[in-house]
Chain A
Amino acid sequence: MIRLEELTKTFQTDQGVVTAVDRINLEVPEGEICVLLGPSGCGKTTTMKMINRLITPTSGKIYIDGKDTDEYDPVELRRNIGYAIQQIGLFPNMTVAENISVVPSLLGWDKKKCHERARELLNMVAMDPDAFMDRYPNELSGGQQQRIGVIRALAADAPVLLMDEPFGAIDPINREVIQDEFLKMQEKIRKTIIFVSHDIDEAVKMGDRVAIFREGHLEQYAPPDELLAYPINEFIADFVGGDRTLKRLRLARIAEVMHSDVQTLKPDDSVERAREILASSAQEGVPVVDRDGHPRGFINQRIAEGGSGKAGDLAQPLSFTVRSRDDLRTAVSSMFTHNVNWVAVLDDGGHLIGYVSQQDITDLLGTVRGDTRAA
């Protein structure tokens, strides 16, 4: 856990005293990612650098796991906080293994243990240790360097991580990939992370909580969904963008709005059964499912009224389906593309497990997921 109390930094300049960070109060729960977000010069990086005392606070306190960081020697403190920067900062004179082992060796680990740790971390980001341990940074691609930069910050297994736009120096496609990799890793390692970014999309994607800064002030600190749903002022609303509702679609998984009580037909059922279901439920279509649970097609009002016979013969093929762990954006995009109001949801094995309608999604956008204020 990281707690900032009345954290302030002022600089003496030619134009007088400038307050870069003004009485920030912030608490990051254990195992969560807190994104510090804002335009350049808003104080987010200064705030982060005060945590490992690259910048000395003018006043205020920083607690890590309840301990006042003023009580540590800065060098000692930094060795116990993982640190990744935008320019990556791999040392070109050291091999990949040596780069990863920097902090462990500062902490006095023996060579063998450092080596094993480097192998373990390389495996974690799917880079073959035998191929990469002895290479030099300039022999790696940008994406590979970025990965090494991140695992170097994890090397000593510090509980707290500071990341200063760690995915900033990389092309958008690779950035997405590395972000996803990192989130997957975080599920396992559960570090408490302060993550500086200027990109709202990245913040919404990476952050359990997002702190938006402006001119040294903390404007709003909330989970991303709340931030997008209820920006507390004009500045935040502007900053998160006019499409903030659409951004929220990325935050929710289909599983969260899916109806799993979907009524289905077997291929042998008669079409009357379909009419009954359509009349008695809110479903706009009835999926036809074979014995194994794989969808074979669907019957809607128009087909049911016009036809007679077995459901299996009348069913129209489903032109598309979605998976329960896709985000809502995928579902909405598919519905718009195919001009339909509902979509069948499958699990990873291709079995039908429910459906989602446009109404469900609209309803969801009316509430805030994990609304802390309601609790």
Chain B
Amino acid sequence: MATATATMRAAAPGRRTVRNLLLVAIFAAGAWAQSSGLLGDILYLWPDIRYLAEQHLVLVGLSWGLAVGAGVPLGVLLTRPWMRRYSESVLQFVNIGQTIPTLAVLALAMSVLGIGFWPSIFALWLYSMLPIVRNAYQGILAVPAHLMEAAVGMGMTRSQILWRVELPNALFVIFAGLRTALAINVGTAPLAFLIGGGGLGELIFTGIALDRTTMMLAGAIPTALLAVSLDFLIGQVQFWLVPKGVNPLRLNR
């Protein structure tokens, strides 16, 4: 897996070749899995996979959604002139969420909030906050001063400037933050099992504990697929939702 990503990055110009090779590799892996009976063993766990994947999605969706709901407004708020002098301290505070190792955050959440669903949500939420807040904050600060001058000079009010100029122009950067947060969130979510949050981590960790490769893979493969497809999904939303004029991906197309 690690080698595959490394190859992909190194061979960025020859993307198509890499993609084709990847497809062949996946097909070969599938064929091997089928012939060795692994696929059958994994599918035997299908009801568990489905139930836990749903739980996993709820964990990710809810914690990420709450982080978006809180993080974007917070990031925007920090750019307001009357907040500027506090903004760095607030960002530092949010930063702590990222500096502390994932497991430690989970442990802290557990010791304060107990075990179960909500402590997991809280930990994942905290962990997703930083990229969202930071990108919203920096995206808005990066809106060129002359656009602001034009907006004020033409008679926009503060809120009109925010909605018509600042947010649309920062949208691409904000989305990049949402995307990073989602990737982090999906990757961290399996750990939620450790404090009783459920999710696909249950299959992975149980599989490790019982030394059952099949069970481990039954958790790991859906987790990986989930991460890839969610990232693809938000990538598409970003591509189509960010106005063409401020979307580097759609320029000159």
- Residues in A whose Cβ lies below 8 Å from that of B245: 91-95, 136-138
**Interface flags, A168-196, vs B, CB<8A=1, else 0:** 00000000000000000000000000000
Asked if A89 is an interface residue, CB under 8 A from chain B, the answer is yes
**Interface flags, A50-91, vs B, CB<8A=1, else 0:** 001010000000000000000000011111100101111111
Q: How far apart are A358's CB and chain B's nearest CB, in angstroms?
A: 48
Contacts across chains A and B counted by CB atoms under 8 Å: 73
CA distance A88 to B252 in the complex (A): 21
- Chain A interface size range: 20 to 34
Q: How far apart are A46's CB and chain B's nearest CB, in angstroms?
A: 14
Assess whether B155 is in contact with A75, with CB atoms less than 8 Å apart: yes
Assess whether A89 is in contact with B156, with CB atoms less than 8 Å apart: no
Q: How far apart are B240's CB and chain A's nearest CB, in angstroms?
A: 14
Q: How far apart are A318's CB and chain B's nearest CB, in angstroms?
A: 52
Asked if B14 is an interface residue, CB under 8 A from chain A, the answer is no
The one of B152, B243, B244 in contact with A78, judged by C-beta atoms closer than 8 angstroms, is B152
Assess whether A54 is in contact with B169, with CB atoms less than 8 Å apart: no
Query: Do A78 and B146 contact each other (CB < 8 Å), given the known contacts A91-B165, A93-B246, A137-B245?
Result: no
Q: How far apart are A225's CB and chain B's nearest CB, in angstroms?
A: 32
Assess whether B169 is in contact with A75, with CB atoms less than 8 Å apart: no
Query: Do A83 and B153 contact each other (CB < 8 Å), given the known contacts A93-B169, A93-B246?
Result: yes
**Interface flags, B110-152, vs A, CB<8A=1, else 0:** 0000000000000000000000000000000000101101111
The one of A54, A103, A152 in contact with B152, judged by C-beta atoms closer than 8 angstroms, is A54
The one of A75, A87, A136 in contact with B157, judged by C-beta atoms closer than 8 angstroms, is A75
Looking at A80, A91, A102, A139, which has the most chain B CB atoms within 10 Å of its CB? A91
Assess whether A52 is in contact with B147, with CB atoms less than 8 Å apart: no
Assess whether A85 is in contact with B155, with CB atoms less than 8 Å apart: no
Looking at B149, B150, B160, B164, which has the most chain A CB atoms within 10 Å of its CB? B150
Assess whether A93 is in contact with B154, with CB atoms less than 8 Å apart: no
CB-based nearest A residue for B243: A93
Assess whether B152 is in contact with A91, with CB atoms less than 8 Å apart: no
CB-based nearest A residue for B146: A87
Query: Do A91 and B153 contact each other (CB < 8 Å), given the known contacts A136-B244, A138-B251?
Result: no
CA distance A77 to B165 in the complex (A): 20
Assess whether A91 is in contact with B169, with CB atoms less than 8 Å apart: yes
Assess whether A54 is in contact with B154, with CB atoms less than 8 Å apart: no
CA distance A250 to B165 in the complex (A): 42
Assess whether B154 is in contact with A78, with CB atoms less than 8 Å apart: yes
- Residues in A whose Cβ lies below 8 Å from that of B252: 139
Asked if B199 is an interface residue, CB under 8 A from chain A, the answer is no
Interface residues of A (CB under 8 A from B): 52, 54, 75-80, 83, 85-95, 102-103, 106, 136-139, 152, 162
With contacts A75-B156, A91-B147, A94-B168 known, what are 16 further pairs, Cβ within 8 A?
A52-B153, A79-B155, A85-B149, A87-B146, A89-B147, A91-B164, A93-B169, A93-B243, A94-B245, A103-B155, A106-B154, A106-B155, A106-B156, A136-B243, A137-B245, A152-B154
Interface residues of B (CB under 8 A from A): 144, 146-147, 149-157, 160, 164-165, 168-169, 171, 243-246, 251-252
